[in-house]
Amino acid sequence: MQDGKKTLYSAIQPTNNLTIGNYLGAIKNMTALQNDYNCFYAVADMHAITVRQQPAELRAKTLSLIALYIACGIDPEKCTLYVQSHVPAHAQLAWVLNTFTYVGEMERMTQFKDKSARHADNINMGLMDYPVLMAADILLYGADYVPVGEDQRQHLEITRDIAQRFNNAYSPTFTVPEGIFMKVGAKIGDLQSPDKKMSKSAENPNGSVFLSDDKDTIIRKFKRAVTDSGSEIYYDPVNKAGISNLLGIYSVFSDKTVQEAERDFCGVGYGEFKLAVGEAVAEKLAPIQREQARLLEDKQYLNEILKKNSEYASRTAGRTLAKVYKKIGFYQL
């Protein structure tokens, strides 16, 4: 949509509720990046079905995530905001890329091992093949950059390997993407286990603050947050992991530095501190929640955006797929 800019690709699955960690580590950064790059932002519903989903729930969560994207400031006029399954080229390219990917590479993927352990009753080929579909997602749009966290570094590397393997076998076809490793919000810890990353699929729901949580729920979770046996509030991730995690959260939600936050709470008790952090988070999320709810009431508007953007995404992806099909020798009409 935007000429003269490098292309960037990012996608989020519409499964489980997103946490404030997802907001700070992904969506907030995506909002900023849309001004500097030609961005393709997808709701990755095809990736979601590697784990069994309730069909009606998956449809509802897909639309809800689109509304959340927009409510957080992602502008569908500035970027291509679409649903992955609306562009068949994702699956079509993934099949071709499978023939350039080795079983041993997939078996070594950390997320495959982790998800196989969590879903031992459903270790399907989609679960193993997930990184190849992710490679197709990225390579279809000639993405120069992909914003990733540490847990996605391995997937980006296999994408680069597959792209280079194809390019070497035929001729330069794919852009080999670089990672943008986001730091802001990347280490938001679980409120109950601050040494662990806050997760949307955590076993203890009190450890994660979801973007859909109302103010009372947010305050309650922060009041129960793990701290330490001391009484001083200062940043020390090694010896005061809980307090440091809360300081980091307060810092980004109040638009202050950690040092400013430390000064704000000098001499303040833990109870008052945790309440203040909860209120800062609730205050920031409230307008996002209201706007998301308003957008979901206007399904026609959301559908119009998705139709327009999926058509643009399909045209862009189709050009890449046509080049790939020609190079590998598929007979085309």
Closest to 19 measured CA to CA, from 181, 176, 253, 268: 253
In the set 115, 187, 240, 274, the catalytic residue is: 115
Q: Do the Cβ atoms of 125 and 146 come closer than 8 Å?
A: no
DSSP lists the bridge partners of residue 180 as 147
Q: Do the Cβ atoms of 256 and 264 come closer than 8 Å?
A: yes
Catalytic, 196? Answer: no
Three-state SS at 196: coil
Q: Which residue has tokens 């986001």?
A: 182
Catalytic, 197? Answer: yes
Element at 7 (helix H, strand E): strand 7-12
Q: Do the Cβ atoms of 257 and 251 come closer than 8 Å?
A: yes
Give me the DSSP letters along 229-280: S-------TTT-HHHHHHHHHHHHHHT--HHHHHHHTTT--HHHHHHHHHHH
Catalytic, 200? Answer: yes
In the set 28, 61, 187, 197, the catalytic residue is: 197
In the set 6, 200, 308, 323, the catalytic residue is: 200
Active site residues: 115, 197, 200
